[in-house]
Structure 1
């Protein structure tokens, strides 16, 4: 199914379904980027669940409830040892399965001395955690692969943002790149009129939304010219693929009339973004991102330049989204008007509602 016409979605609260979860379950959600887990445990709240993440002695990732079963100190306040994470209050030591394996000064370990463990996997330097429903407490699939990180074709870097805003506002922003001409003038923006009138195709099914935007014969934005030796105007593309727990966005450009924008092997300048959007609570989110690029010269310097420009861009997005949410709270449930660029975001919201209610 594809369309270029606007589709409406009311943002006001829907009629509550008593047993509907706050977030879609039976999904792999991003919990961390692999390089975050080093010599200290990392504590995060994910889908309202306090979790501590750490590496075991063999390099595997573990995820436990972030609460010592003795006196409730967060285990993320503790330290890592060869056998697991040690509580920073009275020294109970827990292994990667959540079992207490040592109580200082006490030989007998009570059978109840353990904490819940979550299913966790590391794939392509992305750490995923499974939050299942009662029907599917065990993972029903492997976490998504992302070979942009492992193929060797790209150089990449990334980081984590914390948003004081609901996660679906981040989805909305990423699925509607028409805002680039207004929010990102210093980096990846460009002519606002070209962005608002870009050739756009939208496809969706029960779990994904795909938005493709083409901007032929346009002026390359500052980030592009800083990283690639374009000769003049460019044929520019934006391909966005939404999944419930993450988005993949491939943007880039080629010199005018040198490559077809629908050729999967096209050359030019590429930016491949991974965007893991994980709810913290109903009103806050974690945003795990990486950006990969294909330098044609001075690879490391070009990668650093692209990452620096990406950070500037995401700083701008964060400011806008948090201000938007503050104003939504201020004005309450007043309805909002949809325009043609909202189709992809509205379809994503409908998918999330359907999945939430299907896991009741």
Structure 2
């Protein structure tokens, strides 16, 4: 198995699906997203069963999807409901549907191991999207690189002092030497880092009126299909930063990392931030600086992948900052092994 299956992956954001079909590939499977007659997001295999044109080349009509080649019309359940010029609709005229759910403005798609497989759990929540303390914006990047390299990058924030000097960086040595705790529980990996009495980076000073040095935190929660990262700071010594109710400047990032193919990826992200009660709204500032930050990551990761291909991927040396990423890779490796074993048992039965 190339990817862990039987789970929800991020397919995009609710605001991306408008009045036209949206074609994307997830886990090597071409999918088309559109809105049904009730306005809900639906997903079908992106292939007309007649002559294989992508249905994303067609148009939406009254909540159904009209093929752009010969006009076959498909309902949200994949059944063909109209063949122009022909009264009888062939019984096999249907395409595979995918279970979809929209939660906190995130579109989740269930990627089953077997065709027609149905979800056995609810989609994840993104609490910051519904939290009145925050406002958020987001976007999407396409990577010419495997998805696990994006996981590695997000689980190891020691790199920000070198890569993101103009935004969320700061003193590179402080980042590399930050006390770090890594814990794993089933499919969940958590990385917590603290940087006490450090210099605030550009994004922080642009968004919050800090008095000087700050006590800064980075809390990363990895799940197979996404990560949620809570970063922020208070004035140095102002209050404990391990307090769940701490104040100060908060940035809560959502990172939906969905493989497109074995070597390309979708990266769907949002950033929710708090504004100072006596200051202006900082959403636009945080959004712009976050987008710049993630573009810097994309450049680095794609260059990394090109070089890995150039050198044939010889063994790499691990250092102390790799603990979180290595834990996450072990989680995914085990899940893929379990999928293979379950598929083998199903074949025997």
Structure 2 length-normalised TM:
0.95
Structure 1: tracts of 5 or more residues without a match: 1-20
Report the Cα offset of residue 83 of structure 1. Answer: 3.3
Retained in 2: the 8 A contact 1:83–1:94? no
Retained in 1: the 8 A contact 2:23–2:46? yes
Retained in 2: the 8 A contact 1:194–1:215? yes
Query: Aligned residue for 1:357?
Result: 337
Among 112, 118, 128, which residue is 1:148 paired with? 128
Query: Aligned residue for 1:226?
Result: 206
Could you give the per-residue CA deviations for residues 138-180 of structure 1, whole angstroms, max 9, x where no partner exists?
2110100112112322100001100000000000000000000
After superposition, the Cα gap between the structure-2 partners of 1:135 and 1:359, relative to the gap in structure 1 and judged at 3 Å, is farther
Query: Aligned residue for 1:168?
Result: 148
CA–CA distance in 2 between the matches of 1:342 and 1:211? Answer: 11
Query: Aligned residue for 2:91?
Result: 111
Report the Cα offset of residue 241 of structure 1. Answer: 0.3
Query: Aligned residue for 2:159?
Result: 179
CA–CA distance in 2 between the matches of 1:89 and 1:257? Answer: 66
Structure 2: tracts of 5 or more residues without a match: 341-349
Retained in 2: the 8 A contact 1:259–1:266? yes
Among 270, 278, 282, which residue is 2:262 paired with? 282
CA–CA distance in 1 between the matches of 2:299 and 2:271? Answer: 20
Among 241, 244, 257, which residue is 1:264 paired with? 244
Retained in 1: the 8 A contact 2:98–2:116? no
For the residue of structure 2 that corresponds to 1:313, the secondary structure is helix
For the residue of structure 2 that corresponds to 1:170, the secondary structure is helix
Query: Aligned residue for 1:317?
Result: 297
Q: What RMSD over aligned residues (CA atoms) do the two structures have, in Å?
A: 1.4
Structure 1 length-normalised TM:
0.92
For the residue of structure 2 that corresponds to 1:23, the secondary structure is coil
Report the Cα offset of residue 88 of structure 1. Answer: 1.0
CA–CA distance in 2 between the matches of 1:258 and 1:81? Answer: 58
After superposition, the Cα gap between the structure-2 partners of 1:136 and 1:192, relative to the gap in structure 1 and judged at 3 Å, is farther
CA–CA distance in 2 between the matches of 1:50 and 1:133? Answer: 15
Query: Aligned residue for 2:185?
Result: 205
- Which has the higher mean CA deviation after the structures are superposed, 126-135 or 204-213? 126-135
Report the Cα offset of residue 135 of structure 1. Answer: 10
Kindly indicate whether residue 20 of structure 2 is the aligned counterpart of residue 40 of structure 1.
yes
Query: Aligned residue for 1:29?
Result: 9
- Which has the higher mean CA deviation after the structures are superposed, 255-264 or 275-284? 255-264
Query: Aligned residue for 1:252?
Result: 232
Could you give the per-residue CA deviations for residues 214-233 of structure 1, whole angstroms, max 9, x where no partner exists?
00000000000000011111
Q: Kindly report which structure 2 residues correspond to 1:74-153, keeping only aligned pairs within 5 A, or say none.
A: 74-134=54-114, 137-153=117-133
CA–CA distance in 1 between the matches of 2:278 and 2:226? Answer: 31
After superposition, the Cα gap between the structure-2 partners of 1:264 and 1:126, relative to the gap in structure 1 and judged at 3 Å, is same
Number of residue-to-residue matches in the alignment = 340
Report the Cα offset of residue 250 of structure 1. Answer: 0.4
CA–CA distance in 2 between the matches of 1:300 and 1:353? Answer: 46
Among 272, 285, 293, which residue is 1:292 paired with? 272
Report the Cα offset of residue 105 of structure 1. Answer: 1.6
- Which has the higher mean CA deviation after the structures are superposed, 197-206 or 318-327? 197-206
CA–CA distance in 2 between the matches of 1:298 and 1:355? Answer: 48
CA–CA distance in 2 between the matches of 1:129 and 1:279? Answer: 13
After superposition, the Cα gap between the structure-2 partners of 1:282 and 1:300, relative to the gap in structure 1 and judged at 3 Å, is farther
CA–CA distance in 2 between the matches of 1:189 and 1:244? Answer: 26
